[in-house]
Amino acid sequence: MTRLRRLLPRSLAGRMIALLLLALIAAQAVSLAIFMDERRMAVIGATREGVIARTVAVVRLLRDTPAALHARVLATASTPRLRFWLDRESAVAAGDNAVGRALRRRLAMMLGGAVDVRVAVADMPFGLFAHRARMPAMMMSPERMARMMGAMMTETGQAEEGSGANERASGRSGEHRRDGHGHSSDRRRSSALGLAISVSLPDGAWLNAMSTLPPPSLGWAWPSLVSMAVTALALIAVVAVTVRRIARPLRRLAVAAEAVGRGEAVAALPEEGPDDVREATRAFNRMHARLGRFVQDRTRMLAAISHDLRTPITALRLRAEFIDDAETRTKVIETLDEMRDMIEATLAFVREEAAREDTRVVDLAALVESLCGDLADMGQAVSFTPAEKHPYACRPTGLKRALRNLIENAVVYGERARVALEAGAGEVRVVIDDDGPGIPRSAFERVFAPFVRIETSRSRATGGIGLGLAIARSIVRGHGGDIVLAHRAEGGFRVTVRLPEGGRA
């Protein structure tokens, strides 16, 4: 089943074409089988009518001509597939089947009804719905039948069939398997015979006739096959054009959805294609507009609140200067300064979000290497493992800020940062290792919340404000990726920035 699924086309156009072709082939196969059976029955009917008509004519000629001319009459009346001969015995037994009875009545009526007529119908192996009669039960002995068939085939020039029949007559007559009635079970021989007739003559002799049906020919099927091929080509062309018109807006919708998920600015999509695709595009446009308004409203509200808090904080700091108790005054001023720094950080974050940097293709390896080089030049213990050039579509200023926050955290809390760029498995990873104790596993998710600080000293010099990780994850998720935290088995802490490979140029 898995191997079959791999063979199936993966595109919408490919699958629709494959399904339509399978349906066409199945329908044509059933129609062809029915037509073959109808044609077979028509050939059988026409052949039987011809044999009966020729037999009636031969009987009448034998009645009206001298016995000396009978051999010439029989030779002239015989054809490659119809053999006439005279014998003192009937070639057909007295019993017959339903088809044989109908033919016997027709032949007897054409001959006047005063003669003994015997008809046997052979088994026809080809044809989907063929009626399979038991011919051998009504025929003469298999050995005699084989001799007659061999002579018939030899005289009509069919060397291959004649040699086979003669071989069976001479060398294999004793090898026939018989059923409970002593009749031959050789299906090839019984199937080769189409019709056997025996008619009694006034002088006591029997006129025997044997007819073989021509083998089915597939020459007539070529027009059907050509018609099916033309129909298949027309279907492929129509489906390819139609599905392409449907798939184009779907692909455009998928690309736009991916871009929105990466935080990029996307224009409203044109509503094209069938009604279902138009409705999906219209719903996407409405969703995108609502999300944009929601983010803008929240950003403006956050900026307004942060900006408005500046005035009361400044006023409180001025009033704090008049506090007589020096210790109390120092603590109040420190608290107000901390609040001011938080507000400034919030405003900086909001300003960057409102700016919405354009996406462009950069060398991600060069971007990370330059960031690590700048931090190392500032005296921080940062190293970068050289990596191959990796073009990537992103918002480089925002991504650089996120990586800077993470690397600086590694230096502050883990003494040093070792940075590497890895690619594979449909994504690109920026791995940042340090030698610090890391973050408790229970706090892996909580540290990404705004203003959350795991460091308990509350000192801005050691614990920061609590927005670094929140801003970093917001930027990374805006690129369609995520940040994964883990403790290293050999000691230390690892932060992995995972970005989707879809952003690669």
List, in sequence order, every beta strand (DSSP E) within 122-231: 195-200, 206-211
Q: What is 337-376 written as a DSSP string?
A: HHHHHHHHHHHHHHHHHHH-PPPEEEEHHHHHHHHHHHHH
- The H-or-E segment that residue 382 falls in is strand 382-384
Tokens representing 80 are 């490659």
Q: Quote the strand ranges of 81-190, DSSP E.
A: 82-87, 117-121
473 neighbors 461 (Cβ within 8 angstroms): no
Inter-residue contact 128 to 36 (CB < 8 Å): yes
The residues, ordered by sequence, that sit 6+ positions from 297 with a Cβ below 8 Å of its Cβ are none
Q: Which residues in the chain show pLDDT less than 50?
A: 123-143, 145-146, 149-193, 457-461, 504-505
Q: What is the DSSP string of 154-176?
A: HHTT-HHHHHHHHHHHHHSGGG-
Q: For the beta carbon of residue 395, count every other beta carbon within 10 angstroms.
A: 23
Name the residue ranges covered by the structural domains of the chain. Answer: 61-217, 359-503
Distance from C-alpha of 494 to C-alpha of 434, rounded to nearest angstrom: 7
Tell me what pLDDT residue 355 has.
56
Q: Which class is 359-503 in CATH?
A: alpha beta
CA 39 – CA 205 distance, rounded (Å): 37
For residues 92 and 120, is the Cβ–Cβ distance under 8 A? yes
Element (H, E) at 184: none
Q: Which of 252, 132, 261, 129 has the alpha carbon at shortest distance from 187?
A: 132
Name residue 279's amino acid: E
Do residues 90 and 206 make contact, with C-beta atoms less than 8 angstroms apart?
yes
Q: What is the DSSP letter of 398?
A: H
For residue 127, the Cα-to-chain-centroid distance in whole angstroms is 34
349 within 8 A of 469, measured Cβ to Cβ:
no
pTM above the 0.85 mark? no
Note every long-range contact of 217-222, with CB atoms under 8 Å and residues 24 or more positions apart, other chains counting. Answer: 220/39, 221/32, 221/36
What local confidence, expressed as pLDDT, does residue 174 receive?
35
Tell me the two tokens of residue 480: 């369609």
How many CA atoms lie within 13 Å of 65's alpha carbon, on the beta-carbon side? Answer: 14
Given this model, what pLDDT does residue 189 score?
36
Name which of 350, 356, 354, 355 is nearest 307 in CA terms: 350
- Would you list the DSSP string of 291-336? HHHHHHHHHHHHHHHHHHHHHHHHHHHHHHTT-S-HHHHHHHHHHH
| pLDDT at residue 149, as a whole number | 46
The 3-state DSSP class for residue 427 equals: strand
**Residue in the structure block whose two tokens are 């191997």:** 3
142, 189 in Cβ contact below 8 A? Answer: yes
Distance CA 165, CA 151 (A): 8
Nearest to 9 by CA among 236, 280, 256: 236
What percentage of the chain's residues is helix, strand, coil (to nearest 5)?
Answer: 60, 15, 25
By three-state DSSP, how is residue 205 classified? Answer: coil
| 428 CB-near residues (< 8 Å, 6+ apart) | 364, 390, 392, 421, 422, 498, 499, 501, 504
**Which contacts of 459-464 are long-range, i.e. CB under 8 A and separated by 24 or more positions?**
460/338, 460/341, 462/412, 464/412
C-alpha R_g of the chain: 48
